[in-house]
């Protein structure tokens, strides 16, 4: 599938998550600052993951039962209030990430972990497909010691059972500040179905994710 994606990019022009500002302006939606989930956020739990380009990661997470909202953004670095252009240089220390608001009575943190590892390749250091750099690293940002222990235990299990062909390189770090991305990056996948990157890279990943998480997804 990855070879087909690169063939598409070669034929129709190279495209990656780090697009030009002009290309990014094709998306329109409610600002992430005012976007509200279907239930009050203070009644929901929150999880934060980074699995490469956040356009695809957001779309995969949105499909899970019990997930009420997903915000694309930046975390893990030192630059305050970073812009997309700054993060794309790889110099801010931030990763493209998503903040998931979910109902723990419907979907567990364990299921979110399973979905996270099903949605990307956690064995490639600072890279996902055509996107390369620390901003595309695989990372999980925990909020409590219990979450950290659960993450490490699950990763240990995945490595022990050889769930992947290579060892997992996912970073596990305490969450600091999460900065929501610019408006045009929220729901980018759904707002830009004909974008070359969506068609060549993101859509195959999302379809693969849906097969792996069958039975745990919202009705479409």
| Domain CATH for 104 | 3.30.1060.10
> Does residue 57 lie in a domain region?
yes
> Does residue 107 lie in a domain region?
yes
128: domain range?
Answer: 41-204
pLDDT at 213: 97
pLDDT at 40: 74
> Does residue 198 lie in a domain region?
yes
- In our burial notation (b when 16+ CB lie closer than 10 A, e otherwise), range 57-73 reads bbbbbbbbebbbbbbbb
> Does residue 33 lie in a domain region?
no
Strand partners, 217: 64
Could you tell me how far CA 192 lies from the centroid of its own chain?
17
Q: What is the mean pLDDT of each run of 10 residues along the chain (220 residues)?
A: 39 56 38 56 92 97 97 98 98 98 97 98 96 98 98 98 97 98 96 94 95 93
Angle at CA 27, nearest 5°, toward 2 and 99?
70
- Structurally, the chain folds into a number of domains equal to 1
> Does residue 5 lie in a domain region?
no
> Does residue 8 lie in a domain region?
no
pLDDT at 152: 98
Which residue in 44, 53, 67, 155 is the catalytic one? 53
CA distance 195 to 90: 23
> Does residue 84 lie in a domain region?
yes
> Does residue 23 lie in a domain region?
no
The structure's pTM equals 0.85
- For residue 56, indicate whether it is catalytic: no
């Amino acid at each position: 599938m990855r070879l087909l994606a690169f063939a598409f990019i070669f034929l129709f022009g190279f495209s990656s998550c780090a697009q030009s500002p002009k290309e990014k302006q094709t998306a329109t939606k409610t600002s992430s600052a005012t976007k509200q989930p279907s239930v009050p956020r203070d009644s929901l739990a929150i999880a934060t993951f980074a699995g490469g380009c956040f356009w695809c990661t957001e779309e995969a997470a949105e499909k899970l039962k019990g997930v009420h909202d997903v915000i694309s953004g930046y975390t893990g670095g030192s630059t305050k209030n970073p812009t997309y252009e700054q993060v794309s240089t790889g110099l801010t220390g931030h990763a493209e990430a998503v903040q998931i608001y979910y109902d723990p009575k419907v979907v567990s943190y364990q299921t979110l972990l399973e979905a996270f590892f099903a949605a990307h390749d956690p064995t490639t250091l600072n890279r996902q497909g055509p996107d390369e750099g620390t901003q595309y690293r695989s990372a999980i940002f925990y909020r409590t010691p219990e979450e950290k222990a659960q993450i490490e235990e699950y990763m240990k299990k995945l490595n022990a059972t050889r769930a992947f062909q290579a060892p997992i390189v996912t970073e596990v770090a305490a969450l600091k500040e999460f900065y929501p991305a610019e408006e045009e990056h929220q729901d980018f996948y759904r707002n830009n179905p004909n974008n070359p990157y969506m068609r060549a890279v993101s859509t195959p990943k999302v379809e693969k994710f849906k097969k792996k998480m069958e039975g745990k997804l919202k009705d479409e």
